[in-house]
Amino acid sequence: MTEAFAPKRRGRVRTWLRRFVLLGAAFFVFSVVQVLALRWIPPFGSAFMIGRQVDSLLAGEFRPAVDYRWRPRERISANLPIALVAAEDQNFPLHHGFDMVAIKKAMDHNARGKKVRGASTITQQLAKNLFLWQGRSWLRKGLEAWYTVLLETLLPKQRILELYANVAEFGDGVYGAEAAAQRYFNKPAARLTPSESARLAAVLPAPKKRDPRRMSRRAQQIQVQVQHLGGAAYLATTR
């Protein structure tokens, strides 16, 4: 009896292995096309925006919960990208998606039992915002790492930063430089000053709890870091 069932079990195992391989191959192709398209096509939104709108609908609010207005790099003040880098990822032009120095420092800091510190790069945050759901799990971290590799491999650094400036959340339901500039400063993103750009960068990574107009102290610190990096010229050599 056992010997009679053995071929059937092996057949089922092969079938499931074949399905798993096909599923993996399909995901590989889909994710590569998904990221490669962003080299030329602006995203219509992000996973985080979809989640924000769904939460609003579940709460019975049947109005747009997301303010998102894509702007190309040429229509965003050069003050904002360097402020974002100074605030969140000063090694952005140098790493390939993962800042190993920052990761080691964060691990040492957390091992001492202090307040948990993260070490996510701008590329990792873009991967999370564009493609993934909120929360913590090993599956999500694995997908974040995969999309980070794809973004760094398939897109120029300048495009990654352009995408991030457009999909980052700068307030509850306020996504991207243009929506934030209009909401908080009544002007287009192209006219953001160094101070206003620093204030927007200062709300990250907790945009729902902070108002850029009240972030003067943190904004001043970011402006000092911008000067130490050499200003917008620091990003001029990124590919």
pLDDT 10s digits, 68-77: 999 999 999 9
Mean pLDDT of 156-180: 96
With cut-offs at 50, 70 and 90, classify the pLDDT of residue 226. Answer: very high
- Look at residue 113 in the predicted model and tell me its pLDDT: 60
Least confident of 16-30, 166-180, 193-207: 16-30
- Res 163 pLDDT > 80: yes
Q: Which amino acid is at 164?
A: Y
Q: DSSP per residue over the chain, as a string? A: -HHHHHHHHHHHHHHHHHHHHHHHHHHHHHHHHHHHHTTTS--S--HHHHHHHHHHHHTT--S---EE----GGGS-THHHHHHHHHH-TTTTTSSS--HHHHHHHHHHHHTT-S------HHHHHHHHHH--SS--HHHHHHHHHHHHHHHHHS-HHHHHHHHHHHSEEETTEESHHHHHHHHHSS-GGG--HHHHHHHHHTTT-TTT--GGG-HHHHHHHHHHHHHHTGGGGGTT--
CATH code that applies to domain 43-235: 1.10.3810.10
Reading phi first (left if > 0) and then psi (alpha if -120 to 50, else beta), residue 60 is in left
Please tell me the pTM assigned to this model.
Answer: 0.89
pLDDT over 70 (residue 8): no
- Say yes or no to pLDDT of 1 above 50: no
pLDDT of residue 100: 82
Average pLDDT over the chain reads 89
pLDDT tens per residue across span 36-69: 999 999 999 999 999 999 988 888 887 788 999 9
More confident: 11 or 109: 11
Query: Do you find a cis peptide bond into 93, omega within 30 degrees of 0?
Result: no
DSSP 155: S
Residue-wise pLDDT for 81-139, tens only, equals 999 999 999 999 999 999 887 777 776 656 566 555 567 899 999 999 999 988 888 99
